[in-house]
């Protein structure tokens, strides 16, 4: 140890651009560190994140996203690159119960089918009972 100190400054950025009446969006992000040389900054940090988003319908509730994210996770994992595709559906809810509407509809449908099957079975049993007499 020679007793000297060094100062490092890191900058992060995120830039986005919307095209085609806000239906297509490009998002680019990255880092720049003052203690790294220019080649290292350019190759490793300058563009860490890139994403393309496309709105699938006019209301904007469905979005398709293609992304690539590079980041340092932990000492054990090191640098991890995530690449993927995502489909997003957005809907404004006034109550939390509206989030589970499909479960109630499916339950009602199953109960209706069960009742119809039970009624059909009762009618069949009654018809068999009448024919056996």
Model pLDDT for residues 28-69, shown as the tens digit of each residue = 988 777 776 666 555 556 678 889 999 998 888 899 999 988
pLDDT attached to residue 66: 92
Residues facing 14 on adjacent strands? 29
**What SS3 state is found at 3?**
coil
Q: What is the mean pLDDT of the chain?
A: 80
Contact at 8 Å (CB) between 99 and 105? no
pLDDT attached to residue 2: 62
> Which tokens is 56 given?
């699938």
pLDDT attached to residue 42: 56
């Amino acid at each position: 140890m020679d007793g000297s100190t060094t100062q490092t400054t890191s900058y992060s950025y995120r830039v986005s651009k919307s095209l085609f009446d806000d239906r297509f969006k490009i998002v680019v992000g990255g880092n720049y560190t003052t203690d790294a040389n220019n080649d290292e900054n350019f190759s490793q940090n300058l563009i860490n994140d890139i994403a393309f988003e496309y709105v699938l319908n006019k209301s904007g509730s469905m979005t398709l996203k293609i992304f690539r994210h590079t980041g340092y996770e932990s000492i054990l994992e090191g640098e991890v690159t995530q690449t993927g595709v995502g489909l997003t559906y957005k809907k404004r809810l006034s109550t939390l119960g509206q989030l589970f509407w499909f479960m109630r509809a499916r339950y009602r449908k199953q109960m209706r089918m069960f009742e119809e099957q039970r009624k059909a079975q009762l009618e069949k049993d009654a018809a068999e009972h009448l024919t056996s007499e």
